[in-house]
Amino acid sequence: MTDATWSAVDGYWGARVLAPDPDLDAALAANAAGGLPPIDVSPLQGKLLHLLARSIGAARILEIGTLGGYSTIWLARALPPEGQLITCELDPHHAEVARANLARAGLDGVVDVRVGPALRTLQSLTGPFDLTFVDADKSSTTEYVEAAVGLTRPGGVIIVDNVVRGGGVVDPASPDAAVAGIRRFADAIAGDRRVDATVIQTVGGKSYDGFLYAVVRP
Ligand code: SAH
Ligand code: DHB
Ligand code: MG
């Protein structure tokens, strides 16, 4: 089994459970035109985030790592009329592309893009959030989740992207700083009684990776 098979299956299921979506297509096109790396969640993964947010009736969502706002659009569309999403992005150019993508999708009144190092932005935020999606630089994932535990309500959900990295996570000698960051996070969450977590490995058009899904204990 290869990446080609995984992509074909993404296409097969995508054709059946995803609706045509000009705003999401336009966002990916604008990201490419703006030179942003194509490291957004996949369409099926974006819809999973959307459905998970809807499943818990999330009205306040926090995202760490905006890029061009592709995952942001999926998540923001899950919000009720009075809902709010705050997303943190270091790179001003990424944030500018994201704001345009969000405006095109009619979400500029709902989403607040905060530019700067996420650790600093997080210090300025007031919870509680119902759901937090952690998807920025992997070296600081431990600190992002630490902040997320404080900002997400009891019973709320924290989702962390890229916790598998093509299987690299099991290599203690990996030279990949992202792998080292995820391994440090894995050791931190192993003894963390404040959350109850699982990991789901994923394959597809975005290759082999995975999500950590955690519920904040009451
Ligand atoms: N969630 C997006 C992908 C995010 S890619 C999606 O699925 O569509 C990771 C993003 O995190 C990049 O845009 C990168 O610029 C940003 N980032 C990196 N370091 C950061 C930091 N210290 N603070 C905030 N954002 C950061
Ligand atoms: C990278 C970052 C991501 O958030 C992702 O989903 C895939 C790759 C990266 O930095 O390489
Ligand atoms: Mg990611």
Ligand 2 binding pocket (C-beta < 6 A) is: 39, 135, 161-162
Q: Give this prediction's pTM.
A: 0.98
Residues 139-168 pLDDT 10s: 999 999 999 999 999 999 999 999 999 999
Q: Atom 7, ligand 2: which residue's CA is nearest? A: 39
Cα–ligand 2 centroid distance for 180 (angstroms): 14
Residues 97-141 pLDDT 10s: 999 999 999 999 999 999 999 999 999 999 999 999 999 999 999
Cα–ligand 2 centroid distance for 45 (angstroms): 14
Residues 191-212 pLDDT 10s: 899 999 999 999 999 999 999 9
Give CA–CA dist 142/69, Å, rounded: 23
Q: Atom 10, ligand 1: which residue's CA is nearest? A: 65
Q: Comparing C-alpha atoms, which of 75, 71, 45, 73 is closest to residue 59?
A: 75
Confidence of residue 2 (pLDDT cuts 50, 70, 90): confident
Q: Atom 8, ligand 2: which residue's CA is nearest? A: 39
* Ligand that comes closest to the CA of residue 208: 2
Nearby residues of 37 by Cβ (< 8 Å), 6 or more positions away? 67
Q: Atom 2, ligand 2: which residue's CA is nearest? A: 39
Nearest-atom index, ligand 1, CA of 69: 8
Give CA–CA dist 179/138, Å, rounded: 8
